[in-house]
C-alpha cells in the first residue's frame, strides 16, 4: 500500500529513489525546483535533459540524479517554457511521473508543488490536483511505497496539509453516509 507523506523542506535533500522536477517542456533547468536540482545535482542532469528534450507538456522524462542522493530525477513538464501551467498539464505531468517511477522500479518518490510558483497555479489548486492524483495512483496499486510531497516553506506545507485533511474528512463522511443508507 502506498503512503502519501507531506513534508516541509528542500526536495534536493530527500533520500528517495526519484525526485520529481517541476519542469518545462524544453527540459531547460531554470529557477525554482529545477534550479535547485541543477545546482545541487551538478551539470550531468542538464546534459541529460538536453539529450531528452523537448517533450510534450504533461509528459515526463527520466534522467540520472547526478550528485543528489536520489537515483533518478523525473522531469514532469507541467508547463511550456516561458508559459503557464494548467490543471490539465499538472495532472498529466504527475500521472506520467508516477508511471515513469514505476517503470524505473522506484519505491519512493519526492514531488514538489508542480505548477505553483512560476507555473502560475495557486498552491491550493496545486495541492488539490497533486493529492488527488496521488490518491488515484494509490487506488491503482502501483509499485511506489511512498509518495512524498516536499513543500518549500511552511505556508505551502500548511495548504497541502489542509487539503489532505479535508479529503480525509470527506472520505469519513462518505463512509458514514453509506452505513446510514444500508
pLDDT tens sequence for the chain (182 residues): 899 999 999 999 999 999 999 999 999 998 889 999 999 999 999 999 999 989 999 999 999 999 999 999 999 999 999 899 999 999 999 999 999 999 999 999 999 999 998 899 999 999 999 999 999 999 988 899 999 999 999 999 999 999 999 988 998 898 899 888 88
pLDDT given for residue 42 in this prediction: 95
pLDDT given for residue 142 in this prediction: 86
pLDDT given for residue 171 in this prediction: 85
Task: Please provide the DSSP assignment of 88-131 as one string.
Answer: HHHHHHHHHHHHHHHHTT-SEEEE--TTBGGG-B-HHHHHHHHH
At a CB cut-off of 8 Å and minimum separation 6, what does 24 contact? 30, 34, 77, 78, 79, 80, 81, 82, 83
pLDDT given for residue 116 in this prediction: 94
Domains held by the chain: number: 1
pLDDT in tens, 133-166: 999 999 988 899 999 999 999 999 999 999 999 9
Say how many CA atoms lie within 13 Å of 107 toward its Cβ.
1
Q: CA 17 to CA 102: how far, in whole Å?
A: 11
Q: What is the pTM of this model?
A: 0.93
CATH code, domain carrying 126:
3.40.220.10
pLDDT given for residue 138 in this prediction: 92
CB atoms under 10 Å from CB of 24, counted, come to: 25
pLDDT given for residue 110 in this prediction: 98
The domain of 15 spans 3-181
Q: CA 144 to CA 168: how far, in whole Å?
A: 21
pLDDT given for residue 32 in this prediction: 87
Q: Which residue has the cell 541529460?
A: 48
Amino acid at each position: 500500500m502506498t503512503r502519501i507523506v507531506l513534508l516541509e523542506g528542500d526536495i534536493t535533500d530527500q533520500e528517495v529513489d526519484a525526485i520529481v522536477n517541476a519542469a518545462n517542456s524544453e527540459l531547460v533547468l531554470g529557477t525554482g525546483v529545477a534550479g535547485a536540482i541543477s545546482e545541487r545535482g551538478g551539470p550531468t542532469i542538464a546534459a541529460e535533459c538536453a539529450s531528452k528534450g523537448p517533450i510534450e507538456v504533461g509528459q515526463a522524462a527520466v534522467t540520472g540524479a547526478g550528485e543528489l542522493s536520489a537515483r533518478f530525477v523525473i522531469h514532469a513538464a507541467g508547463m511550456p517554457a516561458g508559459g503557464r501551467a494548467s490543471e490539465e498539464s499538472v495532472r498529466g505531468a504527475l500521472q506520467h511521473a508516477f508511471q515513469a517511477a514505476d517503470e524505473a522500479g522506484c519505491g519512493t518518490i519526492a514531488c514538489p508543488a508542480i505548477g505553483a510558483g512560476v507555473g502560475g497555479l495557486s498552491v491550493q489548486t496545486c495541492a488539490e490536483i497533486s493529492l488527488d492524483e496521488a490518491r488515484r495512483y494509490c487506488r491503482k496499486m502501483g509499485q511506489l511505497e511512498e509518495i512524498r510531497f516536499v513543500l518549500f516553506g511552511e505556508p505551502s506545507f500548511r495548504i497541502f496539509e489542509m487539503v489532505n485533511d479535508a479529503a480525509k474528512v470527506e472520505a469519513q463522511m462518505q463512509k458514514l453516509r453509506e452505513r446510514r443508507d444500508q
